[in-house]
Chain A
Amino acid sequence: MLWNSAGGFGAVALTGMLGTEFLKSQALAADGVRANPLGGTPVGRERLARAKHVIFLFMYGGPSQVDTFDHKPDLYRLDGKTIDVPTFGRQGKRAGGRVVGPKWRFRPYGECGKQVSDLFPHIGSQVDKIAFVHSMYAESPIHGSALLNMNCGRIISGHPSLGSWVNYGLGTINRNLPGYVVMLDESGGPISGAKNWTSGYMPASLQGVQVRSEGTPILGLERPAGTTDAAQRALLDHIAEENGLHASARPGNGELAARIEQLELAYRMQSTAPEAVDLASEDEATREMYGLNDDRTRRFGAKCLLARRLVERGVRFVQVYSGGGHNDDNWDAHGDLVFNHTRHAGRTDRPIAALLVDLERRGLLEETLVVWGGEFGRQPTAEYAEGTGRDHNSWGFTMWLAGGGIRGGVSVGETDELGSKAVVDRFHVKRLHATILHLLGLDPNGLTYFFNGLDQKLVGVEGAEPIQEVIA
């Protein structure tokens, strides 16, 4: 019975389970350049790190920048005209194509006057909290590798994801909940699934844990029917004893240490997780604000609200996916751009704006970095001879950040006049990662993990600097 619950649990592998001692020793060994990030000398007069938590709103499939936040007024007039503009998508490289003009009007919002399309009127009302990065570029225009690029820093498998790095660097706050939570779209996970929230070569305890906003929050967690608390405790104590014996002959075995802790965390979470995901305890106005009373926004709204509740309870890194599965179940608008983006923006606009408002009014936005974006953007030209569908575009796309030390109401970087390619202040994905780590008080170029003879970094061997222009 316990095997059953432990097995289901083992599959998700929780973080926050290793003693900090283990991480300390790892960090000391790992960090080649600087002092141990968990050790101690005085910081003195420097400012406190500004973010403690991250909520990453992942728009899986790749939202089109020119139809959302990257205003290209000239593009409307070119609708239907064939022009020479090199593109690179799933159809390979092309020299030009038929322009699909932006399908939504833009209007200025907030004190900063940021132009936002009519897809996101609610997010538009929050632009003064947001810093937009219009000149992002990624290494691959194909979903699988681009997702890994955005989540793990590389286009190949096996590297720990951003949430793992954050938890590795900062440690857990609440030992009764995982430090890294992933919430998937109801239509399914993104391509490659768990590789996107893996801990790679780090201990399995740093892996993301899938939490569901409806039904059982964490699968395989509940106590098997007919088992009493005392019986389960006795069983766990016995297993811990046996595991301890096993471990004593194998000092420094991270996997084993993680396993022992995982069983304990799972046990603790049997009581803490249901409370954390109890959205019914929220007041009606809040539920309404997140759109829980509207069928379109209900599901994503519940995830955003849950993300706030998890952050309040000390979870370091929460990733929420908008879109999953295939085709128009995510933002991958190859066929009908209007149908696709209306659907996904309609589901997410209100909940995301509500999340920003709610974090702000609870004084949490200062400590919580909210990141919005997909694995890449979309092209200004049509993918096919007919229709409005746009192909993938990793040469230029928009992401935005809010809260947690971000300077609101700014837009940095530019794509060309067609929105096809980043041209001014171009930022590689790792610059975004560096920015996130930096705001959490971690040195992106100093946070390392020794593996395969190399001090591995999220931002790669060459390193990366944070995007200073978006930092308050």
Chain B
Amino acid sequence: MTQVTDAVVLRPVEPAYGVDQWLEFVGRLHPVVLHVPIGMLVALLLLEAWTLVSRNAIPARRMLSVVFAVSAVAAAVTGWLLGSGGEYRGDLFQAHRGYGIAAAVVAMFAAAIELFGRGGTAALIRRVTLLLCATLVALAGHQGGLMTHGRGHLADAAPPWLAPYLTEERERAPIAAPPLEPEVESEPEPDEPPSDVAIVVAAFRERCFECHDENKTKGSLRLDVVEGWSDGVDLESPEDSELLYRVVLPADDFEAMPPKGDRLDPSAIDALRRWIESGAPTEELVRELEGAHASQRNAAADLDSVRERTGARIVAVRGDREPRIAESRLDVDWRHAEAAPSTLGVASLAPIADRIVALGLARDDVGDDVLDALPGLVNLERVHLEGSRVTDRGIDALVARAPRLSYVNLHSTAVTGAALDALGSLEQLERLVLYGTNAEATSVERFESERPEVRVTVDGGLPSIDTARRILVHDDGAGRLVALEEVAIGHPETVWERPIDGASDLAWLGDDGSIVVVEDGAAVHRLASDGSLRWRRSLDDLELEGVRRFGGVQALPSGHAIVALDGDGALAIELDGEGAVVWTLSAHEGLQAPAVIAVRD
């Protein structure tokens, strides 16, 4: 598709390459230059040690201390230039700058003593100065490393006893988490849509903080503090607010923000416009920014290291309707992980514990000890334990840690009805899967009556269903009995057939599809649903006096059959399921040889 436009295409003016650009270029060499003095320092310390043994080292030492001082100054100068670009801010940066300059100054001092100092006192001062310098370089270097690689870079991988010294404000989570009685905060109104400010802060946090926060402040703009917002707002003419028009501009405009990637979500832009038009109130903004700050810190930390320590699959859950993933709501799943969850592993969930909403421990190498080791999981909603070795005791431990569970899957575990007491205390429980457990029917029934809103699955099977219409035909011409099934309306199919010497009557018996047939007045047959003979009773078998032949037959709901008797003696007999006589109707005055009889129970 070709886009036709009359508009003049604006191109950014090529800036001249001048002093500023040169200075910026030199500043960017800082990460390279800074390694020179570090190397020199190490060499210098070695030479200093060598001096104690041999005087041969002195000329080299004197030369190196000058080179060290010069390179330290070069590192400090390039660092200053880089820092002046405005992209770096914050405590860490300030400290790094301070220690770096101090290291350069001390290095110069050490070189001066080396060149002009004489005697034992000077040597002592020189050595002390060098050690001081080494300390300063180490501190500055560590801070620089944190700025480049993130605050947890070293601490996360360090041995636990060392880790606390390598990071500043962050508290390390204890490895063995204590069981706790979680304090549940009141649930925020679920139906309340996010406010405009919340929408904009969320969008800015995602797309803008990267370059405009305390650590990196391109164009001297910080969007993580209120001032940065207020400065970009034009209350007289909202559309001219820099905050707004820069994000509204098309992507190819050189002033457009964000400079890379997609444009901001239109809903966020609308929310921003509404906020400015409403006078850009800051009260809620302050709150939201604080929240964003806190969650930013939390989110950046921990996840990767927890993932590594636990071996679990940790992903943000998908929200309903939302393609976005929530760093703040996590699904932690060992179900398909290589290694089983260890007690140490689950305990190390502590730093992210309040973000976990789903937990998968459904594997046969998980037992109660794993549940015991869980930290408090105040926001846990769904837990999969099916097929694990957990018992009632483990469920107690789980419930004590996860009060907001709504879905608990325990199928194919050894839990019993005793676990239901603990589970009953879960106020938000909606679904409980107990299929294949040892939970007794009575306990489950009691639980269900106490908590009718909880859907409990204990067992399930398919109802036995036979809806097809069956037709029994005595085909006299061919001397056979045929059972047909109507597979479709008017479309019978033969289920079975068997030869018979003339059937005088027949009937279905009960629901099991069995049949009673009177064969030519001489015998009663009972056939199973597949047509096989269950039993046969002839007149002789029954030894009925005066009866010449069997008459019609009728099935009773009980599965018994009433057979009319044709003769001088009894009128009818009732045969049970096995063909035994349970009742005989004796001859009645005036009744002669009844062929058919109907009985109502």
Interface, chain A (partner B; CB < 8 A): 28, 31-35, 37-50, 76, 101-105, 107, 118, 121-122, 124-125, 169-171, 173-176, 285, 289, 313-314, 338, 341-342, 350, 353-354, 357-358, 360-363, 366, 405, 438, 440-443, 446-447
Contact = CB atoms under 8 A, between A and B. Distances in A.
10 contacts: A35-B265, A35-B324, A38-B325, A42-B326, A43-B322, A44-B328, A45-B188, A338-B487, A353-B462, A363-B407
B600 to A, nearest CB: 28
A49 B313 contact: no
A46 B319 contact: yes
Contacts of A43: 316-319, 322, 324-326, 328-329
B386 A44 contact: no
Contacts of B205: 41
A41 B323 contact: no
Given A118-B468, A363-B411, A41 B206 contact: yes
A287 to B, nearest CB: 12
Contacts of B203: 41
Contacts of B207: 35
Contacts of A118: 467-468, 488
Nearest to B467: A121
B467 A363 contact: no
B62 to A, nearest CB: 47
A442 B463 CA distance: 36
B220 to A, nearest CB: 26
B327 A41 contact: yes
Interface SS of A by simple majority: loop
A39 B323 CA distance: 9
Most buried by B among A28, A41, A440: A41
A394 to B, nearest CB: 25
B333 interface: yes
Assign chain B's interface to a size class: 35 or more
A448 to B, nearest CB: 10
A122 B461 CA distance: 11
Given A40-B206, A362-B435, A443 B323 contact: yes
B218 interface: no
B262 A35 contact: yes
Contact of B202 (A28, A42, A285, A440): A42
B491 interface: yes
Contacts of A361: 411, 433, 435, 457, 459-460
B318 A40 contact: no
A42 B329 contact: yes
A342 B265 CA distance: 53
A125 B462 contact: yes
A362 B433 CA distance: 7
A173 B262 contact: no
Contact of A366 (B321, B407, B490): B407
Nearest to A446: B323
A420 B409 CA distance: 44
Given A37-B325, A43-B326, A357-B460, A104 B317 contact: no
A180 to B, nearest CB: 16
Nearest to B316: A40
A252 B305 CA distance: 27
B464 to A, nearest CB: 10
Nearest to A79: B489
Nearest to B299: A40
B431 interface: yes
Contacts of A124: 465
B457 A360 contact: yes
A48 B468 CA distance: 43
Contacts, number: 171
Interface string B352-384: 000001100000000000000000000001101
A157 B537 CA distance: 70
B336 A175 contact: yes
Contacts of B329: 42-43, 48
Contacts of B381: 48
Given A357-B462, A438-B321, A363 B491 contact: no
Interface string B306-350: 000000010111111111111111000101100000000000000
Nearest to A20: B315
A350 B207 CA distance: 52
B194 interface: yes
B261 interface: yes
B590 interface: no
A316 B150 CA distance: 35
Contacts of B265: 33-35
A218 B336 CA distance: 20
Nearest to A171: B315
Most buried by A among B324, B325, B411: B324
A362 B323 contact: no
A343 B462 CA distance: 21
A48 B323 contact: no
B318 A440 contact: yes
Contact of B319 (A338, A354, A363, A441): A441
B262 A46 contact: no
Contacts of A45: 188, 190
Contacts of B386: 362-363
A49 B317 contact: yes
A438 B320 CA distance: 8
B488 A104 contact: yes
Nearest to A361: B460
Given A42-B327, A350-B462, A361-B411, 14 more contacts: A40-B206, A41-B326, A42-B328, A104-B489, A118-B467, A173-B333, A173-B335, A314-B336, A338-B491, A360-B460, A362-B386, A363-B457, A441-B321, A441-B322
Nearest to A27: B323
Nearest to B463: A125
A31 B467 contact: no
Nearest to B489: A103
B319 A47 contact: yes
Contacts of B188: 45
Interface string B196-239: 00000011011100000000000000000000000000000000
